Amino acid sequence: MAKTVLLVDDSGTMRNILAQALSFSGLELVKLEAEDGEKALELFKTNNIDLIITDINMPKMDGLTLIAEIRKLSKTVPILVLTTESKDTLKQQALYMGATGWIIKPFKPAQIISLLKETLNQNKVS
């Protein structure tokens, strides 16, 4: 059964790169895309999402706010943060708010695929 992954980043190029990397996972995935947290929240409310990969810095609604809003609706959907931000305080804040994992851009496709598989297998990642 296909898993639905929601890719959230204000950069269309980054969403394309991420979608392409995930296509090499060997998993059956449905990829939905959103350019900001507001659109992502709408998609989350109207689709059965198995995993979210989100940026932090976006217009309209940032990634931290998105995490908080998603956690009001679901305590269990995994949320991976993919960002250029490397501050430990920001990482700790995201994890405290309910993020499941954290990856710094630029990333290696194998890194994303490994984390995706591990997360979809219900393993908590930090």
Q: Which residues pair with 23 in a beta bridge?
A: none
What's the confidence (pLDDT) of residue 123? 40
Q: Read off the pLDDT band of 122 (50, 70, 90).
A: low
Average pLDDT over residues 92-118: 91
Q: Say how far apart CA 111 and CA 105 lie, in whole Å.
A: 11
Average pLDDT over residues 105-111: 88
Q: Say how far apart CA 19 and CA 123 lie, in whole Å.
A: 22
The string of DSSP codes covering 6-56 is EEE-S-HHHHHHHHHHHHTS-S-EEEEEESSHHHHHHHHHHS--SEEEE-S
6-40: burial string, b at 16+ Cβ within 10 Å, e else: bbbbbeeebbebbbebbeebeeebebbbbbbbbbb
pTM: 0.92
> What's the CATH number of domain 3-120, 3.40.50.2300, 3.30.450.20, 3.40.720.10, 3.40.640.10?
3.40.50.2300
Q: Is the pLDDT of residue 71 over 60?
A: yes
E strand or H helix that includes residue 74: none
Domain boundaries, the chain: 3-120
Q: Is the pLDDT of residue 126 over 80?
A: no
Instruction: Copy the structure tokens of residue 44.
Output: 């989350």
Does 125 or 109 have the greater pLDDT score?
109
